[in-house]
Amino acid sequence: MGKGFALRWCTRHEILIGSRDAGRAAVAASEYLELARGIHGDIGGTISGDGNAEVARQSDVLILSIPYENIDSVCPQVLSAAGDGCVVVSPIVPMVKTDTGFEFIPMMDGRESSHVMVSRHAKDASRVVSAFHVISEKKLANPKLQLNYDIFVCGDDREATATVEGLISEIDGLRPIRLGPGKLAYMAEIATPLLLNAMIRNKIRNPGIKVV
């Protein structure tokens, strides 16, 4: 997912790739930059890499492309380094694959949604915005492919959600759909296992959601 965002937003923005290993982040950023130039030619922005905390310090918008299980181990350091006005985006989905199919963890054992867990570590919980749960990562990472998806957006601060909606609209074929406040983010999160189960049982490739 991070690769897809970098390749699609670098035409207008300065993209920072974060990792626990700054060197690994720099290598990934260099690869993405080469790919981006091969796809777009000259780009209006940049792609660079650094350690997670340093990336958080420099970011106006910080996207947490991490597993649900890593929220409590990654977010304390990363979000404490972020600036007070930083918009934190959570595309994280709490799901697990079982014999039945993909299941939503909060419904299975009463654990919290990703939005709630991330918000607990944020300096300002109202700046946490949930989005990008219902998009194919494979298609996102290939800018040559046409997208045609709606993206649910949940958050409590209208300026923060508007920022994320603007970034969504910059990607051709994506449309932001305001779903409600952060307390409703679980509704967007649960759409991912729903789509995956539909994909497997009906042999649909890289499904998404379109509200018509």
Note whether residue 186 is domain-resident.
yes
Does residue 163 contact residue 61 with C-beta atoms inside 8 Å?
Answer: yes
Looking at the whole model, is its pTM more than 0.85? yes
Note whether residue 94 is domain-resident.
yes
Angle at 162 between CA 156 and CA 163, to 5 degrees: 110
pLDDT digits (tens, 9 = 90+) for 161-194: 999 999 999 999 999 999 999 999 999 999 999 9
pLDDT digits (tens, 9 = 90+) for 80-95: 999 999 999 999 999 9
Tell me, what amino acid is at 111?
R
Note whether residue 104 is domain-resident.
yes
Note whether residue 111 is domain-resident.
yes
Note whether residue 91 is domain-resident.
yes
pLDDT digits (tens, 9 = 90+) for 3-47: 999 999 999 999 999 999 999 999 999 999 999 999 999 899 999
Query: Does position 137 have pLDDT exceeding 90, yes or no?
Result: no
Q: DSSP letters of 55-68? A: HHHH-SEEE----G
Note whether residue 123 is domain-resident.
yes
* Number of domain units in the chain: 1
C-alpha span between 139 and 7 (Å, rounded): 12
Q: What is the CATH number of the domain that holds 184?
A: 3.40.50.720
Note whether residue 23 is domain-resident.
no
Q: Classify the C-alpha dihedral 137-141-145-150 as positive or negative.
A: positive
